[in-house]
Every structure is written in C-alpha cells, then in structure tokens.
Structure 1
Amino acid sequence: MGDPSEDLYTRLRRECARRADDLWEVGRALHANPEPAYEEHGAARLLAGQLRRAGFEVERGVAGLDTAFLARSQKGPGRCVALLMEYDALPDLGHACGHNLIAAAGLGAALALHAVLGEDSGSVLAVGTPAEERGGGKVALADAGVFDGVDAALMFHPGVHDWSWAPLTAQTQVRVGFHGRAAHPTGDPTGGIDALAALVQLFNTAAVVSRRLPPASHVQGIVTEGGTATNIVPAYAEGLFGLRAATTTALDSLVAEVGGWAEGVAAATGTTVEVTRLGRGYAHFRDSDVLSERFARHIARSGIRLTEPVGGVFLGSSDIGDVSVRVPAIHPFVAILGDGASDHTPAFARAAASGRGREVMLAAAEALACTAADVLTDAGLSARAWERLREQEAAGL
C-alpha cells in the first residue's frame, strides 16, 4: 500500500485477527471463572502471564492492589498510550457487565502493537485495573501516579448501545446516622425520640426534593440499621445513600445538599445526625472526542457504526472517570445485545460469551490498536487531544 498509515492499520488488524482464537480463549476463561472486586487473582495472573510471555515488562501488585498490574512495551522515546483492562465480575451474575471482553480486547490491542511497532515508537502500557464494580481500582492507580506521563488512556465497554462515548456521571456514597432516645412505645410514649422515624423522613424528603434536581443528579438509599425490636423506640437508625451527578463539582454540591436535608430533619424530629461521605467516589467521565472519533472511524471497518449518545441519557458511573480527568481518554460502548436490553442481567452475562461477544471483542481490539497507533505516530493528534482536555477542564465539563 502506498499510504504508510494505512499499511500500519492493516498490519495491526492482521495481528489481532491472527490472535482471535487465543484472545477468545482468554475471554471465555475469564467468563467461566468470574472473580469479584479485589479477588481477581486468576484473571490478573492469566493476563499478566500472556503479556510477559510476549516480551512485556510486568509489575504485579501495583498501587497496593494485589490484583492490579502494569505491563510495558518500551520502544524508544516518544509518547505513551495506556490500554486499560477490566476483569472483575459481579456477585451471583458473573460477567454480566462484559469485563471479560474488555480484558481480551485490551490484551489483543497491546499484543498487536508490541508486534508491529518499530523502534522509536514510544511505549505501550497495558494496565490491569481491578474492582471497577466496587471500590474503583483505577482511582487507586491514578492516585498512585500510574497515569503520569501517559498521553492517552483507551478502553471500550460492551453494552446495549453503539455509542462513541459514555455518558457516565460522578458518584459517591453517604452514610447518614440519626441518634434518638430509646423508650417503651406504650409504657413511656412521650419519652422516646424515634431515630428510625427521622430516617424515614429523610427518605421522604429525598423523594420530594429529587424532583427538582438537575439532570443526571440522583439520590438512592437503603436502610442499613433500623432498630432491634418493635417494642423499643429505635435510638439509632442509619441509611446508606448513593449519589450521582453530571460532574464532580455538581456531586460535591449534591453531597452538601443531602447533608442539609438531614440537618433539617434532625431539627424537626429532635434527633441528632451524622453525615459521612464514604471516600471520594468516582469522577465523571470526560470524553476525548478527538480520540473517540478516531476509534469510531477504525471500528467502522468492522461494520460497527457508532453514534452520539441519546441526549439526557446517563448510564451510571465508572472509575474511568478518575483517569479521564487526568489524561485524554475514551470509553465507547459497543452493543452485544440490542436496545431495550440491559447489562447486569443474566442475559447480558450470556451475551458476553456469545458469538456476538467474540465479534465485538475482536473489532474493539483492532480499533483500540489503531487508535493507539494514531496517538503514538501523530504528534498533532496528541496535541489536539491534550488541548481539548484543558478546554473541558477550564469549562468545568
């Protein structure tokens, strides 16, 4: 071929295709042996072993996480691209989020780049990121500086839409505990202060006030402690609330607002209240449209057409957000089930081991490899991606 960039794409796609059976074997092995957050020892060992045998320098136990790893292919000076692999499963449902396909696609892209790129091409960093479903391995990795010096972080996610980027919100959890006074409900009907009644009132307040919250803002709670016996006025009651918002700044405001609701309820009910934010949570996802457009162009060669997300639709949260606010990042969705279906279901788990799952995994591996090659070989593209990230940060997006 006359165009060297096209020739590079062809070689990368050929390398992925040549490994298709092996990559699918990895994806099926992960699917058959699901491991929940922070317990993905078999998955990390399998993936890191594949990369080590291919010639990557592998470091296990990164950022204090036993099941995280880094695998680096260094080919001289230049830019660095990170390919992110998720592999934790859901309790009881297994790979009902398709993380086995994410891992196999990231592995395939990394191996293809290692095989095809010449000297002085920069470096490829394959990052094993545990605990996306609970805890956020990428948060710990980002805080530990893993993405310092990285010029792009790339991954894909199987889903029920073909979308070029992921509308993912910021999220955190808040624990609210009300303190009242125990008493016998009939023997001393005026002596008790019902902490559970206060907590119930907070739920009612949230239900009413949530109607006026901005788009993407959401409060959902459960009762974690509500008393010990029906003949004792509960002296303590506690709820756990999940909060989401369109941006990290909006989430901070929502946390403060929920705290205000709780204080108001406490004042009205004669209780006292403690509101505790449980960690920082996940940042919102900041899409690098410069790079996600490239991914969409590359995966179109496999017959998959990605579109913009439907306006006003948000699909939850992910720890990729904490990476995306640091470096240009992509997180496109590629459907393995049709519209109207949902992930986190038995049907989605089955799809993650289906023929369609295999097709999507291979197409994503090829597109990830080609997008990574673009970043490594095109200084102008990388500069535009960084400029766009700075613009988003300045605008609070």
Structure 2
Amino acid sequence: MDRKQDLFEHIDAMASDLTALSDFIFDHPEKGLEEHQACALLTDFLAREGFDVERGLVGMDTAFRASFDNRSGDGKGPSIGLLCEYDALEDLGHACGHHMQGPAIVGAASALKALCGDRPFRLVVYGTPAEETVGGKILMKERGCFQDIDVALMMHGSPTTTTDVRCLALISYEVTFLGRSAHAAIAPEKGRSALDALLLACQGIEFLREHVRDETRLHYTILDAGGPSNVIPARAKGEFSLRSYSTDYVDSVAKRVRDLFRGAALMAGVTCEIEEKPRYQAKIPVLALNELLMDNARRLEAPTLRPPREKTGSTDFGNVMYDLPGSCIRVAFVDEKASPHSEDYLRAGKSPEAHRCVLLGAKILAATCWDLVEREETLKAIQGEFGERKEELSRV
C-alpha cells in the first residue's frame, strides 16, 4: 500500500473546497489581529473534520489551536505541528500569499487524520495571526504556545519551490527624546533640543557600523523631527533596527545601542524613553528536515525546484524554530522574477498556479508528516541535528 498516494488522492478529492477557501480569504483580506473571517472559516472546517478546536487562543481573538491525538496513554508517537498564517497587507491585500497557507494546512491535516489513524501520533494545527505586523508567533510563544509539538512545519507561496537555511534575528526600538522647548532665535540658551539627541544617536549608529561583525545590519529612520526650525524641539522620535544571523550576537549589539541612546541624551542635556518591540530570533536550520520536504516536492514534480535559500530576512517563524526543529516549504506559483508584497503576487493570487500551490503544499506537508509518523528514527535524527546546530551557534 502506498500511503502517500492515498494522501494525495484524498487531497485531490478536496480540491474544490480548498481552493474555494483560498479564494474567499484572498477576496476578503484582513489585517493582522483582525482576521476574523479567515479564522472562522479555517476553524469551522477543522471542527467539521473532527479536530478539537480552541479559538481565541492565549488572549488573541484570531489565533487558534486544533488538535487530533491518536496516541496511547503513554504518549508514544510524534507530536507534529502545522502552522498557518492568514493576515493580509494593509492597502495591498494578499500580496504575500498568506491566503494559500490555511487551506493547504487544513487539507494536509484532514488527509492525515482520515488515512493515518492506525499509527500513534498527535497533530496540532496552530493558526498564527499578524505575521506581517506584530509577529503573532512571538506573542504566542511568549504565552506558552508550541511547547506541545516536536516539530513545526509550514508552507508559503513563492517564485520557486525551495526551503530556507538562515534568517536574520531582529531587535527594534522606538526611542523618544524629551528636552525643553524655546525660541531658537530669541532664547536658544533656554532650550534643550530633543532633535540634537536624536541626530547624535543616528550618528552614533554610523560610527558603530565599523565595529560590528560582517552581516550585521543597523538601520534607522526619523519618525518625528520635532517641528519648525525656529523652535527648539522638546520632543523627537526615531526608530532603530538591528539584525544579525546570530540571536546571541544581535543581543550583544543591542546592549551597546541602548548605551548609545542614553549617551546621546546625556550629550544633549535631555532624557530618553526606549521602547523595545518584540524580538525576532534567528532560526536554527535543520537541513535533514529541509531535504525531507524537498524529497516529497520532487516526488510530486513541483514546479521550479531550486536549492535552499542560504540567507533570508526576519520572520516570526524563526522564534519557533529557535526552540524546536522546523521548516517551511516554499511552493512556486509566480514568475521567478516576482517578489513578495508586489502586484505580481497579487495578480497571481487566484490563478490556476495558486490553486495548484495550495494542493501541492497540502500534499508535501502530508507526505512529510507521514514520513515522521512512519519512521521513528527520522524524527530522532532531525532532533539530533537541531541540538547539534543550536550548540554550534551558541559558541559563535
């Protein structure tokens, strides 16, 4: 018996339902933490399929957890997590392809539950909102999610069919400098310029660039310069972002940057308020898990197969993959020259290629989950590689 072929046929039989889900989410784009329709559609579908569904997870209205547990009382068998996003971009809709993720995930989950119940395993589907804005997975992880799974899998529409190796850790700050206003011409000595401090901080970042490791990224912008030129500004605000492929290293740079902010305030005779945004961690790559996904993509003759992307930007999935093995299969549905958050992605959102992407994503994930369920040694090897790589990175 070819279990994988049975899974593929089950998903093909659901094709019209899955693509209809994808098209509806595409036609009704919702911003992060406002994905009420998408969340309802996906959780209703999973509930009908017999999953135990928890909505409004960890205080987030549009987060959910749906589970199917076929393990015995001793807990034997893997616990596999399937994660999906469904938020859109403000003013641009689903120009990143998130409308395809949920349908692919629920298709894979349905097939596994229906056809693999003779083996012990737990399947957990996590609905993770607001990837594009606040990093929903970061908040969910901080509130205790993802501790119940051994491995985390995702899918994403892409110009090529591939996986990723590294991503950038990210720490961002909004810094408000507070001084004292005065007339710039009549009584400049009475003022203390918040803008002076902000400019000093920006200049400090420029000097810091030559004293950090290669592949460290330092960015800044001025959000509020404080007002007209003839008034010494009492308030100025900037945003600063730090990135590195090492979570530990970017943390060490962040300590220096916070000192830089306080030093700039001291030089200008003002004070500062430092607001840190949620931190994005660098993923711990597991090449064996990447290859397992790609083996199944090759079996299905997925389009535009390419080697793994060695370096990518920042993602909240990195925070999940910092604690446990994980991977995201990227499935081609647009031209190789297209980029996320573009009109090319948007125009292709309901195309035949997008519908194929949903079904291929579901099949690749279902087949990979079966590999983990069928062969206990596969998951053990993946977990072993994860532990070794995390130890290596901690020494860098």
Paired residue type of 1:378: R
From the superposition, tell whether residues 206 and 105 of structure 1 become closer, same or farther in structure 2 (CA, over 3 Å): same
Q: Deviation per CA, 1:101-137, whole angstroms, max 9, x where unpaired?
A: 1111111111111111123431211111111112222
The residue aligned with 2:299 is 301
CA RMSD of aligned residues (A): 2.1
Matches within 5 A, 1:239-250: 239-250=238-249
207-216 vs 163-172, greater mean Cα deviation: 207-216
CA contact (8 A) 1:16 1:362 kept: yes
From the superposition, tell whether residues 382 and 167 of structure 1 become closer, same or farther in structure 2 (CA, over 3 Å): same
CA contact (8 A) 1:245 1:254 kept: no
The question of 1:85 aligning with 2:84 is answered: yes
The question of 1:257 aligning with 2:256 is answered: yes
1:63 offset after TM fit, Å? Answer: 1.2
The question of 1:176 aligning with 2:171 is answered: no
Describe the SS at the equivalent of 1:81.
Answer: strand
The question of 1:110 aligning with 2:109 is answered: yes
Separation in structure 1 between the aligned mates of residue 49 and residue 106 of structure 2, nearest angstrom: 11
Selected match of 2:35 from 32, 37, 40? 40
CA contact (8 A) 1:178 1:273 kept: yes
CA contact (8 A) 2:165 2:309 kept: no
Selected match of 1:24 from 15, 19, 24? 19
Selected match of 2:380 from 374, 379, 383? 383
Separation in structure 1 between the aligned mates of residue 222 and residue 106 of structure 2, nearest angstrom: 41
Identity, % of aligned pairs? 32
Paired residue type of 2:172: Q
The residue aligned with 2:286 is 288
Matches within 5 A, 1:1-397: 4=1, 7-77=2-72, 78-207=77-206, 209-210=208-209, 213-279=212-278, 281-304=279-302, 306-311=305-310, 313-314=311-312, 316-396=313-393
CA contact (8 A) 2:163 2:309 kept: no
1:87 offset after TM fit, Å? Answer: 0.4
From the superposition, tell whether residues 142 and 220 of structure 1 become closer, same or farther in structure 2 (CA, over 3 Å): same
1:267 offset after TM fit, Å? Answer: 4.2
367-376 vs 172-181, greater mean Cα deviation: 172-181
Separation in structure 1 between the aligned mates of residue 225 and residue 3 of structure 2, nearest angstrom: 62
Paired residue type of 1:347: D
From the superposition, tell whether residues 144 and 358 of structure 1 become closer, same or farther in structure 2 (CA, over 3 Å): same
1:249 offset after TM fit, Å? Answer: 1.0
From the superposition, tell whether residues 167 and 159 of structure 1 become closer, same or farther in structure 2 (CA, over 3 Å): farther
Separation in structure 1 between the aligned mates of residue 228 and residue 300 of structure 2, nearest angstrom: 61
1:90 offset after TM fit, Å? Answer: 0.9
Q: TM-score, normalised by structure 2?
A: 0.91
CA contact (8 A) 1:85 1:107 kept: no
Paired residue type of 2:138: V
Describe the SS at the equivalent of 1:156.
Answer: strand
Segments ≥4 residues shifted beyond 6 Å: none
Paired residue type of 2:19: W
166-175 vs 231-240, greater mean Cα deviation: 166-175
Give 5+ residue unaligned stretches, structure 2. Answer: none
1:190 offset after TM fit, Å? Answer: 3.4
CA contact (8 A) 1:215 1:246 kept: no
Q: Deviation per CA, 1:11-48, whole angstroms, max 9, x where unpaired?
A: 11111111112111111110000111111111110000
Paired residue type of 1:137: G
Q: Deviation per CA, 1:37-84, whole angstroms, max 9, x where unpaired?
A: 111111110000111111111111111111111111222332111111
State how many pairs are aligned.
Answer: 389
Separation in structure 2 between the aligned mates of residue 163 and residue 216 of structure 1, nearest angstrom: 23
